[in-house]
């Protein structure tokens, strides 16, 4: 291989340069925030479905809830474990997770996603 030193340095510089936005982001943003649970949520032990499923698919589930409640008029959710819940973001989810800023917002801000739920739905009042 000709010009080994130059070529390898070139490759290293190239890689560092092109991954720099990700690297900077990694340093800047720090570790991802943990969603905080309210005492009520802790007491319930489990959300409507398993925690892993909720972490991974809560957005899909909210989409399904919305479509079923508004469009199909089916406002009762029978969970995998057979328990029944009222299909409502504002009245069911936020009843337990009444700490929107610590439960929803900090992760969403971290991931730079801006769900527009709260332009219409009314968030529970938080004691600051």
d(CA 67, CA 73): 9
- Choosing from 37, 38, 68, 105, the residue that interacts with other proteins (CB under 8 A) is 68
- Choosing from 6, 43, 113, 120, the residue that interacts with other proteins (CB under 8 A) is 120
- Look at residues 121, 22, 6 and name the one whose alpha carbon lies nearest to residue 65: 121
Give the number of other CB atoms < 10 A from CB of residue 28. Answer: 7
Q: State yes or no: residue 76 binds other proteins (CB under 8 A).
A: yes
The contact mask relative to other proteins for 3-42 (x = CB under 8 A, - = no) is: ----------------------------------------
d(CA 33, CA 115): 18
- Tell me the two tokens of residue 72: 């199909």
Query: Which parts of this chain interact with other proteins (CB under 8 A)?
Result: 49, 53, 64, 66, 68, 70-80, 87, 90-91, 116, 119-122, 124
């Amino acid at each position: 291989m000709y010009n080994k030193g130059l070529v390898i340095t070139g490759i290293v510089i190239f890689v560092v340069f092109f991954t720099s936005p990700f690297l900077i982001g990694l340093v800047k943003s720090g570790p991802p925030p943990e969603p905080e649970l309210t005492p009520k949520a802790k007491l319930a032990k489990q959300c409507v479905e398993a925690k892993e499923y909720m972490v991974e698919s809560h957005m899909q589930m909210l989409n399904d809830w919305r479509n079923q409640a508004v469009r199909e008029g089916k406002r009762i959710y029978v969970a995998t474990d057979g328990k029944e819940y009222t299909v409502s973001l504002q009245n069911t989810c936020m009843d337990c997770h009444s700490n929107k800023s610590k439960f929803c917002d900090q992760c969403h801000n971290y991931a730079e996603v801006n769900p527009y739920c709260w332009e219409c739905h009314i968030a529970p009042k938080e004691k600051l």
